[in-house]
Amino acid sequence: MAEPAPNGRRSRRRKRSRRLNPDGTMTLIEHIYEFRRRLGYAVLAVVAGGIFGFIWFQTRLGPVESLGHLMNAPYCGIPADRLLPGTIGPDGTCRLLQSAPFEGIMIQLKVGVAAGAVLTSPLWLYQIWAFIAPGLYSKERKYALTFVGFASVLFAAGAVLAYLIVPHAFKMLMSFGGDFFTTALTADKYISFVLSLLVIFGVSFELPLLVVMLNFVGVLKYPQLKKWRRGIIFLLFVFAAFATPGSDPFSMLGLAGALTVLFEISVQIARVHDKRKERERADEGWDELDDNEAAPFDYTPSAPETEPEPGTPAGKASTDDIT
């Protein structure tokens, strides 16, 4: 009697299982299906976060202010005598100018999606990770998870630093011109400025992590970083001057100073890592090897992982394996 054909969904699940498919092999069409599935989950996570951010824009969540209030706070930090009288509400709160009929809803949607993408980043980052993980070795997967975790923390730290710098940057920028100007920013330009500053700071904070990754894979060594330290720090200041959209010294110095500190931390991590690798090489005898001498590798082949037969308990071999 012929065995029934395996269910398609069950077969795909077996392909994704690390226990049943330890080497993660898939055909091209299976890779495409897996990419479509992971991309769908990631988009659903971003959409759910965007809906939450859209509602949060006008809603206070307990002790946490509404998202609109948080985004408007740096603008409200400008002295009241510098603001256009019509932009201050009856309750004393400042308001941005809406210059187009749909500008309000578009700004709320833009800020909501950006905040939702940040809040749900562990979900869609996991989908990216789950797609590329089958093609990595166990050691590479361990390093990748560590770097993804640090990348999320560094991005959030950069965005928080930018948010703290924005009020001081606005006060200084609006102080120019004396009494000849008044301030009435449109919502689109102001929100675009703040979001771009948050993204630039967040992405810039990933640069030191890139240095550590290149050091761990052996591309950059500590002696090279030590030799290039002054030039790299100078380039960091140049990068901060061009990257900050405000053209004010507060944003530039804040970004350049933070990047310099993080770069120095990454250099010290590279120094410790290189010293540890040198000790490991010395303990294993790599430095004393002759050019014609074989490397001290373990050439014993590992036992292949076999899929247990249906009905066979886990960890117990079948009769065919014994024979």
Tell me how far the alpha carbon of residue 53 is from its chain's centroid: 19
**pLDDT tens digits along 234-247:** 999 988 888 876 56
What is d(CA 136, CA 272) in angstroms, rounded to the nearest whole number? 25
Overall pTM > 0.95? no
Instruction: Report pLDDT for 285.
Output: 61
Q: What is the mean pLDDT of the chain?
A: 76
In the chain, what percentage of residues exceed pLDDT 90? 8
Evaluate the CA torsion angle 107, 113, 119, 125 in order and state its sign. negative
Instruction: Report pLDDT for 47.
Output: 92
Cβ neighbours around 267 below 10 Å, total: 20
| pLDDT average, residue stretch 109-131 | 84
